[in-house]
Structure 1
Amino acid sequence: MKRYLLTVVFLFVFIPVLLATHQRAAEITYRHIEGLTYEFTITMYTRTSSPADDERNTMPIFWGDGSSEEIPRIDFYPLGNDISFNRYVGRHTYAGPGSFTITVEDPNRNNGVVNIPNSVNVPMFIDSYLVINPFLGYNNSVQLLNAPIDAGCVGQPFYHNPGAYDPDGDSLSYKLVVCKGAGGKDIPGYTFPKASDYFRIDSLTGEIQWVNPVLQGEYNVAFLTEEWRRGVMIGYVRRDMQITIVSCSHKPPVIITANDTCVVAGDSLRFKTTAFDPEGTDVTLTAFGGPFEQTVNPAAIYPDPAQGNDTVTTFFSWHTVCDHVRLKPYTVGFKAKDSGFPVSLASFKTVNIKVIAPKPQNLTATALGNGINLEWDTTGCKNATGYYIYRKNDSTAWQHGVCETGVPAYTGFKRIGQTDGFDKTTFRDDNGGSGLSQGIRYCYRITARFADGAESYASGQACASLKRDVPILTHVSNNRQDLTKGYAYVDWSKPVELDTVQYPGPYKYLLYRADNASNGTLKLIKTFAGLNDTIFLDKGTNLNTETAAVTYRVDLESETTGTIGSSQKATSLHL
């Protein structure tokens, strides 16, 4: 009788637990709606044959701010191979900026997971991280475009690429982590899957590489896809996924495609991708990634999918536009899947594509006074936020490479300024008001700049040297041996290349001085009529070059047309 009662208790307690187990994989993603409101999506992959699969019409989610909610399931359908797709969606508004860890814990993890001891009693825990920071801008999480539904063979490589796409163009990195259980704690006794060579994730592409599985069974692994903006980690998504390994001997397909490349916005990019199966079975070739997710001019492959026996080919095609310009390259992933038995094997290849804004055209440099005036045509992209100006002494033969944007430091150019606005295409270089130097050939290049830090290709080079059309200060000194007393002796040379047609006379010099008494501000102290009077003994200030310096500047004006230009500043000797 006691044995019968124990059997009944076992049936009532243990069997419902087994029937409830169904969780294979899951992740939480989010997108910004407006203000402090975000929409969250829980994506789960469950066992179709489990009775619990039909019952989870809502899922509890914790928002990371002390509140929680049951959100509804809005999608539910079978994917084949005893796997169902589930999608739960809900919105939440936060009270203010901060860092939030959004979590979901579900008790129905699958039974019999090889690398999780007593997995039937270990919940599945997933989380995502959200930073709301007005200085970094609003953030949308990565979207994982590839479902974790592929299986593998003992002794053959297994690959999985999540197909992470970041709508904001943030930098992504990937790392393996320990699967978590109750309360978000690492599962005691968890081990990474055993491999004959290695089990790892590519930190740049996100591809999981298991070379090679040694034991058949079901395994769970987890990894983080982290988002980085301006050197700050602003979010992550954790995927916990199950991998089924069976006994089989066929090899995964092989993919041959293009190398990483760049394209000018407005141009089209087209290349071929081929996949073949070493065993000659049927192959299906598909593609995924950011270019296919664009709302304007998305990319496509033809045919889609490419299917056939042994070898298949598809052509990637993308007509790019200025909206596609961004700092980070787009990733296009190709997935080839065979029709082997008892499971299909998959392989992946990625191609990085950088979309670059066209260079500004028709840059000119014209010397005027103590500076050089620059003008250029707008870039072809109206979403540019302005332009960077680069300068170098003397010319160079440098030309940018195919994927080289901006003006690298090794060229000798230095960034000296910027303009704000797509149509702001003029700039005066007068060395920040100090004036450029005579006898130097100044060369310039321009790039268009964008909100995320992207730059266009560099413009062609334009060079100019100052004309001798402004006065040049040649002498500023104390006229006595006693450095604590005396007057300032100031002289300058005449403008010998003055364009008297463009700037007709009469002319005058204006002498400015800055000293301790003026708090370093240049003030007009003397006006000279004509061009011949170029010497002045400044008795208005008692020089003391032991403790202070005095600075001068001479301006040239036409009484007909106005200011022509200024000399560089010159300062008395300060010991």
Structure 2
Amino acid sequence: MKSLYTVLILSCIPFISYSFRYAASINFQHVQGREYVFEAIVYADSGHYYPEIVLEFDTTDVFLNLDTAEDLGHVWKAKYKGGYTFPSDGTYLGYLVAGSRKNGIANIPNSIHTDLTLAIELEVALGTSYSSSHEEYSLIDSVVLNVPYNADFSAVDDEGDSLVYHLNYCRDESGGFISGYYFPFSTSFFTLDSVSGGLNWQSPSFLGNQSVLVRIEEWRSGQFISSREREHLFVVSNASGIHGRHSQSVANLYPNPAVDEVFLELPVPSGQNVQVEVYTSTGVLMETTALRPQGTDRLMLDAERWNTGWYILRIQTENKVYAATVYKK
């Protein structure tokens, strides 16, 4: 039986709290024997990057050094590289913890300050040589509200191996899938072709940042040889352009799960009208409610008639849009 190892890719120093991690990917290249070089790419909203992050194999720490840090104008892109020689043949499973999502993502419940995490798995065997696929495009893209979005999400494999694409739930810092995660909100289909890597989003129906995890399996002669993940960020706005990235903030609410009432905490002056749209987990608008705070920043939303399940709230004030997710018992 092949041995199973756990690989943890962690920051050797805590990430700066105000640096928002938007998207990330990981890949690897074979050097010789059981020696591999790993590459991690991380997109963030500032250029505050540490000179290295740590790749942990069992009891061995391997440092991935900062190779490049590029200012793309609307976001920073950092690339880390580091090598390691595996001690024996086997199946190696690992996780990349790329840093905090900070203010949260609209389609990831309770994602404020959670870490963006990716998984990687590879079969290591002496005498076998292969490297993973890689991308040649940004993992952040602008999407226009209610306008169909089509994109080529395929990767490049220089060795001609077969690639299979899967949509996955986003992960938390433990490496597990986030409970209650929704694929990006849509009034119709959000699909990824498993063979071509073509993504189709027929009608984006919700403003704000939305994330999706793509798992890429690599096969050779009918045998699985590796898988890796990348997390994409979609910025849905009323007009094209990455400037829409900050179009939506995450609202605080309680209790969550809710029973009959949901309380929203927003910095809204007394007497100002607030519109709350309630969407189902599939992105269908269920109800629209007008609320008005009375001398407090707290708003009460009646949830008594809702069925059990997850709901997405879009809260529109006079000068800002907020988003939140809540589970109704």
Task: Classify the TM-score, shorter chain.
Answer: 0.5 to 0.7
In the alignment, does 2:82 pair up with 1:90? yes
SS in 2 for 1:184: coil
Paired residue for 1:56?
Answer: 50
Given that 1:25 and 1:242 are in contact with CA atoms closer than 8 Å, whether structure 2 keeps it comes out as: yes
Alignment of 1:168-247 (within 5 A): 168-247=159-238
Using the TM superposition, give the Cα deviation of residue 156 of structure 1 relative to its aligned residue in structure 2, in angstroms: 0.7
Aligned runs of 1:404-443 on 2, under 5 Å? none
**Matched residue SS, 1:155:** coil
Shift in CA distance, 141/198, structure 1 to aligned 2, threshold 3 Å: same
Larger Rg: 1
Pair 343,149 (structure 1): closer, same or farther in 2 beyond 3 Å: same
In 1: Cα distance, 2:179 partner to 2:99 partner: 16
Correspondent of 2:38 among 37, 40, 52: 40
1:358-377: CA deviation from partner (whole Å, max 9, x where unpaired):
xxxxxxxxxxxxxxxxxxxx
Alignment of 1:334-413 (within 5 A): none
- The answer to whether structure 1 residue 124 and structure 2 residue 116 are counterparts is yes
1:167 Cα shift? 1.8
Q: 2:68 aligns with which of 69, 75, 82?
A: 75
- Aligned position for 1:28: 26
Give the distance between the partners of 1:224 and 1:46, measured in 2 at CA: 21
Deviations 1:444-496 (A, max 9, x none): xxxxxxxxxxxxxxxxxxxxxxxxxxxxxxxxxxxxxxxxxxxxxxxxxxxxx
When residues 141 and 193 of structure 1 are mapped into structure 2, their CA distance, relative to the original with a 3 A threshold, is same
**One-letter identity of the residue aligned with 1:148:** L
Q: Retained in 1: the 8 A contact 2:55–2:61?
A: yes
Partners of 2:180 and 2:112 lie apart in 1 by 14
Return the alpha-carbon distance in structure 2 between the equivalents of residues 18 and 243 of structure 1: 23
- The answer as to whether partners of 1:62 and 1:104 remain within 8 angstroms in 2 is no
Residue 155 of structure 2 is aligned to residue 164 of structure 1: yes
Aligned with 2:187: secondary structure? strand
Aligned residues of 2:142 and 2:241 also touching (Cα < 8 A): no
Fraction of identical pairs, as percent? 26
Q: Distance in 1 between matches of 2:157 and 2:15?
A: 38
- Kept in 2: contact 1:146–1:163 (CA 8 A): no
Distance 1:161 1:59 in 2: 30
SS for the counterpart of 2:72 is: strand
Matching residue within 78, 100, 106 for 2:92: 100
> Structure 1 residues 175 and 91, CA, compared in 2 at 3 Å: closer, same or farther?
same
> What is the identity, as a one-letter code, of the residue corresponding to 1:119?
S
Task: Measure how far apart 1:186 and its partner are.
Answer: 0.8
Q: Which has the higher strand share?
A: 2
Q: Which has the higher contact order (CA 8 A, sep 6+)?
A: 2
**Aligned partners of 1:20, 1:342: CA distance in 2, in Å?**
19
**Alpha-carbon distance in 2 for matches of 1:113, 1:18:** 18
SS at structure 2 position matched to 1:104: strand
Q: Tell me the alpha carbon deviations over residues 338-377 of structure 1, each in whole angstroms, 9 at most, x when there is no partner.
A: xx56879xxxxxxxxxxxxxxxxxxxxxxxxxxxxxxxxx
For 2:190, give the aligned amino acid. F
Tell me, in whole angstroms, the C-alpha distance in 1 between the residues paired with 2:48 and 2:122: 31
Q: Judging by fraction of residues, say which structure has more helix.
A: 1
* 1:189 positional shift: 2.0
> TM-score, normalized by length of structure 1?
0.38
Amino acid paired to 2:159: D
The equivalent of 1:144 in structure 2 is 135
TM alignment of 1:554-573, pairs within 5 A: none
Structure 2 residue identity aligned to 1:177: N
Q: Is the 8 A contact 1:160 1:208 kept in 2?
A: yes
Shift of the 68–232 alpha-carbon distance from structure 1 to 2, 3 Å rule, reads same
Preserved CA contact (<8 Å) 2:193 2:199: yes
Kindly indicate whether the alpha-carbon contact (under 8 Å) linking 1:132 and 1:139 is maintained by their aligned counterparts in 2: no
Q: Is the 8 A contact 1:171 1:227 kept in 2?
A: yes
TM-score, normalising length: structure 2: 0.65
> What stretches of structure 1 of length at least 5 have no aligned partner?
1-15, 249-339, 345-575
Q: Which amino acid aligns with 2:44?
A: T
Query: Alpha-carbon deviations, 1:258-309, whole Å to 9, x = none?
Result: xxxxxxxxxxxxxxxxxxxxxxxxxxxxxxxxxxxxxxxxxxxxxxxxxxxx
Say which SS state the counterpart of residue 88 (structure 1) adopts: strand
Cα RMSD for the two superposed structures = 2.3
SS in 1 for 2:107: coil
C-alpha separation in 2, matches of 1:58 and 1:134: 29
Aligned pair in 2 of structure 1 residues 245, 168: CA closer, same or farther (>3 Å)?
Answer: same
Q: CA deviation at 1:147?
A: 1.5
Q: Is this contact kept in 1: 2:62–2:83, CA < 8 A?
A: no
* Alignment-derived partner of residue 292 in structure 2: none
**Alpha-carbon separation, structure 1, partners of 2:120 and 2:241:** 36
